[in-house]
Amino acid sequence: MHHEDPQPMEFGPLGPLKGAATVPGDKSISHRALMFSALARGRSRIEGLSGGGDVMSTAAAMRAMGATIERAADGAWEVDGVGTGCLLQPANALDMGNSGTSTRLLMGLVASHPITVTFVGDASLSKRPMNRVIEPLSRIGAEFTAAPGGRLPLTVRGICPATPASHVLKVASAQVKSALLLAGLNTPGETRVFEPIPTRDHSERMLRHFGVDVRVGEHDGGRDIRLMGEAELQARAVKVPGDPSSAAFLAAAALIVPGSDVLIQGVSINPLRAGLFELLQLMGGDLVFENARDADGEPVADIRVRHSKLRAVTVPDRLVPSMIDEFPIWFVTAAFADGTSRAEGLGELRVKESDRIAAMAAGLAAIGVRAEESPEGLAIEGNGGTPVRGGGTIASQLDHRIAMSFAIAGLHADQPIGIDDMAPVATSFPPFRETIESLAA
């Protein structure tokens, strides 16, 4: 998915946001549901799959390696898997578009299969570092050829049988952990991953749902994950909950726009993903979980959010990994709080779709918000809840989260805020604008 034509848009005040809304299916869970279904024997059915471009990149890749993936008349997806160890050699390079998750997880999957696969992506993805996955996967016997700096285009020569290994994660990354577990599925013996800082555990939960022997222990504050290969995945029905990263934008909008009262239905509240919601509550945000329930091993709830007077906060270190994708929208929310908010330990944000610390600092300055950048963080001076100045045009840098964050800021601004390109939003939240407008109607 390459964005040739920019889609500039303006966002200004629309009045209070009220009513109920849903968000696209969780992107992280959607990627894994497709990959695991494609590895299972038999037909799996997936409801609520994210229709964003990133997840469609994963679907196209799994089709290219032998799985049959089709959308049923009722909107669900049906996947006929090939079985572990039976991935086919794709005829062409796999185009990952903008999806870092697809790329890193599939590198792991391919590493323990006897096939050679080349990954390509758009300009933004081609800047992102892949060495963090290349290095541990090389230890099991896979071979890699990458562009300078361990970047795309990149070729993986998988090995079968791969050598089972124990890994200690150097970076808190659910993508690296998941890549290693996926490689372990077709590796004889036990694959072990120790993560000193726990990261989102969708892979572990869903692998169990597909019948894989995954054990998780805790020690020294970290998590020790063991997986027995060669694993036979059983076809399953999967219901994908709403994406908390997408829900974050609606929650922020409801908190900052006076008179708002919004119910976001059926959202994943996995504790390793819900850090932002906890932080918004710490800031005095009126945000409550209602109708909590379980969906295929994932905790789900409806989130009720009302306009609130927010106070500044320093982000606790323990919450950083569970809200790493939500920092752009949190920076915007902090601009409306009372006092100066601070976050540190965010070095990971500099290697996302864009350098999110620099991009957000520049964008905040452009709309009249004082923000001070540090090597691994940002301090944001809040205005106590009055509208931001607005005006100006934000350079989104092909980053969907930057674009959506400043769009939300425009809902409580003196002058509309221009976004240079809203096209990348299709990777995660295609009906973003329509959803906001329906709540304002």
Binding residues for phosphoenolpyruvate: 27, 100, 128, 175, 356, 401
Binding residues: 27-28, 32, 100, 128, 173, 175, 325, 352, 356, 401
> Would you call 317 a catalytic residue per the annotation?
no
The single residue listed with the structure tokens 């997986």 is 227
Binding residues for 3-phosphoshikimate: 27-28, 32, 173, 175, 325, 352
* 296, 325, 399, 421: the active-site residue: 325
d(CA 34, CA 44): 9
> If DSSP codes are grouped into helix, strand and coil, which group holds residue 208?
helix
Strands (E), 142-232: 143-147, 151-157, 166-168, 189-195, 214-219, 222-229
First-to-last alpha carbon distance for the chain, in angstroms, is: 32
| Number of alpha carbons in the 13 Å side-chain half-sphere of residue 107 | 37
357: closest CA among 394, 386, 328? 328
Cβ neighbours of residue 432 closer than 8 Å, sequence gap 6 or more = 246, 249, 404, 407, 422, 425
| Number of alpha carbons in the 13 Å side-chain half-sphere of residue 376 | 9
188: closest CA among 230, 128, 147? 230
Residues designated catalytic: 325
